[in-house]
């Protein structure tokens, strides 16, 4: 997914989008980030009810007073993120980006201060079908294939 983000980053004119500086950290669905284990019925489920996902459009957490549920952002080095979650420590211009493992958080992200781009302001509502529709857009599938080719899948 990191390679895909770089491809999109270099092939888009970002001057058309509002830029906001944020501090971005990474989180997982696990106990270390959420206090939940796979045995919990709400494990891997965001505040919006959508299951956490790392894909062309990944689920992220934000302060809902700054970035409402459903807001679509482009995060350089990560890719597209859709606000589907909130967190107790996520306040102001802070984003928490979903990763599948703690190792992925440390290897690919950590903590960064950077400019992100607002693609679409959220309405306060976001569903599984909304996420599926975003991830299945035909125009973006070329980036999915490029990413798979570069990592040898």
Instruction: Give yes or no for a contact between 27 and 61, defined as CB atoms under 8 angstroms apart.
Output: yes
Using an 8 Å Cβ cutoff, are 95 and 81 in contact?
yes
pLDDT band of residue 153 (cuts 50, 70, 90) is very low
- Grouping H, G, I as helix, E, B as strand and the rest as coil, residue 32 is helix
Structural domain for 104, as ranges: 2-151
pLDDT at residue 30, as a whole number: 73
How far is CA 64 from each of CA 1, 5, 39, rounded to the nearest angstrom?
25, 24, 28
Burial readout 88-119 (b: 16 or more C-beta within 10 A, e: otherwise): eebeebbbbbbbeeeebbeeebeebeeebbeb
Domain containing residue 13: CATH number: 2.40.40.10
Q: What is the pTM of this model?
A: 0.84
């Amino acid at each position: 997914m990191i390679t895909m983000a770089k491809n999109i980053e270099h092939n888009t004119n970002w001057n058309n989008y509002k830029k906001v500086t944020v501090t971005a950290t990474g989180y997982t669905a696990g106990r270390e980030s959420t206090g939940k284990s796979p045995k919990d019925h709400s494990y891997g489920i965001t505040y919006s009810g959508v299951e956490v996902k790392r894909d062309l459009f990944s689920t992220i957490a934000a302060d809902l007073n700054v970035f409402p549920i459903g807001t679509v952002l482009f995060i350089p080095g990560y890719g597209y993120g859709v606000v589907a979650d909130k967190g107790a420590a996520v306040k102001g211009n802070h984003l928490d980006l979903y990763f599948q493992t703690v190792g992925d958080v440390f290897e690919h992200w950590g903590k960064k201060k950077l400019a992100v781009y607002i693609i679409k302001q959220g309405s306060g509502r976001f569903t599984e079908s909304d996420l599926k529709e975003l991830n299945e857009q035909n125009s973006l599938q070329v980036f999915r294939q490029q990413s798979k080719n570069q990592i040898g899948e």
